[in-house]
């Protein structure tokens, strides 16, 4: 994906905030931040670092500050 490749070129010089649902774009990130709604009207902020993803795909999440 060219878009993800361009982001990776500049990663040492700047930070990006990208809003996306594209899995390919997400894989270019070091950290994902998101908001999920587990029950109606209750939002939960979360973050995922790719090093927190186990071999079985289980994600050990931490709450975003």
Q: How far apart are CA 14 and CA 43, in angstroms?
A: 30
10 and 3 Cβ atoms separated by less than 8 Å: no
Rounded to whole angstroms, the Cα distance separating 30 from 40 reads 30
Cβ atoms 20, 34 nearer than 8 A: no
The domain locations on the chain are 2-52
Query: From first to last of its 65 residues, what are the pLDDT tens digits of the chain?
Result: 788 888 888 888 888 888 888 888 887 788 889 898 888 999 999 888 877 776 776 776 555 54
In this prediction, residue 57 carries a pLDDT of 66
């Amino acid at each position: 994906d060219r878009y993800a490749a361009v982001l990776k070129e500049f990663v040492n010089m700047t930070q990006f905030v990208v809003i996306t649902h594209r899995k390919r774009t997400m894989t270019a990130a070091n950290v994902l931040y998101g908001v999920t709604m587990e029950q109606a009207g209750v939002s939960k902020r979360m973050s995922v670092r790719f090093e927190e993803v186990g071999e079985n795909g289980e994600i050990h999440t931490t709450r975003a500050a």
